[in-house]
Amino acid sequence: MKCFYHPDQARHAPPTFLLRGQPAPSPEGPVRAELLSEGLAAAGLSLTAPMETDSPTLRKRLEQVHTSRYLQFLETIYERWHAIPGASELVAPNVHPCGGAQHYPRHPVGQAGWHLHDMACPLSETSFRGAMASAATAVAAAEDVLRGAARSYALCRPPGHHAGPDNAGGFCLVNNAALAASVLREKVSKVAIIDVDLHHGNGTQDIFYARGDVWTGSVHADPSDFYPFFWSGADETGSGEGEGANVNFPLPLGSDGETYLSAVATLIKQLNHFQPEAVVVSLGLDVHKDDPLAGLSVETEEFVALGEQLSALSQPTVVIQEGGYPTDHLSANLTAFMRGYLRG
């Protein structure tokens, strides 16, 4: 199985984000890629670099899942932000639209508030480059499957599943899983995205909510008490042509591995009912019991079973890395997943 990673992803490396109202060191940094890469190596896998990060084709593909004004914002905001006297080094807005905004602003502070859903997405001068490298990595993995590979893996960071059509959120700038699904859709008519990250994939849900050609399913910690708070209920089932093609499986905070794996099995059954021709897995290792974002209680060895469950999917599959933050266990968690996944 080919595994993809573009070194320019390290260009997005915000040192801090705002946590509980306080600046805190960001757990979403380049060290994650190093730890995940070590985890792959221990499973006998090595990384291949995708090439182009600024091609017109990549931009065109991104416009299938994001608005062009949002992509334009990501590309240009740093320079426009720094034209404001006294602006902070990182782009970090102090105002957000709540409750039915009527007007898209011209001012960089207003635009930053519009597009950056929360305070976990501060942007540096090179963040756009990092996000494009992450996107190119997802595209390379999807293209590998379109060329006939049964499976591929994309080591994407920044992650993507909280990024919606018009916004960033939760460390995510560009929705890599949605992009991979969209690339697969160029050749097949039905794609499913199964999101096993600790957090609800609200961006992915938002992008495909009214579409019947891309099924989305997510297991996650219950957002009544957990990020992303405002979406992810089991009653969110899609709309219009997408009615019935969105499945959410919230779990009580602190649920153990057995409960989590049972929920994944249920999601896989529903996914198969949709009969997709290709699958994207949003792989979050932050369900581990010691992850700093602390929500579920999955043990390292239980990632073997997760890998085995997903390896039973008969469709060509692209695995996209989402969450999973630095601990002594992060590398081992990916190794365990891959051991199970490659065994199938």
Query: Nearest approach, Cβ of 255 to Zn ion (angstroms)?
Result: 15
Binding flag, residue 316, Zn ion (CB under 5 A): no
Binding flag, residue 291, Zn ion (CB under 5 A): no
How many alpha carbons fall within 13 Å on the CB side of residue 252? 5
Structure-token pair, residue 173: 């700038």
DSSP 326: -
Stretch that binds Zn ion, among 206-214, 227-235, 266-274, 281-289 (CB under 5 A): 281-289
Stretch that binds Zn ion, among 5-13, 38-46, 263-271, 315-323 (CB under 5 A): 315-323
SS3 assignment, position 75 = helix
* Count of residues interacting with Zn ion (CB under 5 A): 6
Query: Nearest approach, Cβ of 212 to Zn ion (angstroms)?
Result: 27
Is 6 designated active site?
Answer: no
**End-to-end CA, the chain:** 12
Other residues' Cβ atoms within 10 Å of the Cβ of residue 145: 24
Q: Residue with the closest Cβ to Zn ion?
A: 323
Query: Nearest approach, Cβ of 269 to Zn ion (angstroms)?
Result: 23
**Residue 33 or 198: which CB sits closer to Zn ion?**
198
Distance of alpha carbon 343 from alpha carbon 222, whole angstroms: 31
Stretch that binds Zn ion, among 36-44, 135-143, 264-272, 280-288 (CB under 5 A): 280-288
Query: Nearest approach, Cβ of 340 to Zn ion (angstroms)?
Result: 20
Distance of alpha carbon 304 from alpha carbon 324, whole angstroms: 16
Under 8 Å between Cβ of 321 and 286: no
Query: Nearest approach, Cβ of 298 to Zn ion (angstroms)?
Result: 12
Distance of alpha carbon 107 from alpha carbon 80, whole angstroms: 9
Please give the biggest Cα pair distance in the chain: 57
Binding flag, residue 286, Zn ion (CB under 5 A): yes
Question: DSSP states of 212-227 as a string?
Answer: SSEEEEEEEE-TTSST
Of the candidates 162, 200, 220, 329, the residue annotated as catalytic is 162
Distance of alpha carbon 95 from alpha carbon 263, whole angstroms: 38
* Per-residue interface string for the shown chain with Zn ion, residues 182-211, x marking contact by CB under 5 A: ---------------xxx------------
**Residue 145 or 198: which CB sits closer to Zn ion?**
198
Binder among 323, 327, 335, 338 for Zn ion (CB under 5 A): 323
Active site residues: 162
Site residues for Zn ion per CB under 5 A: 197-199, 284, 286, 323
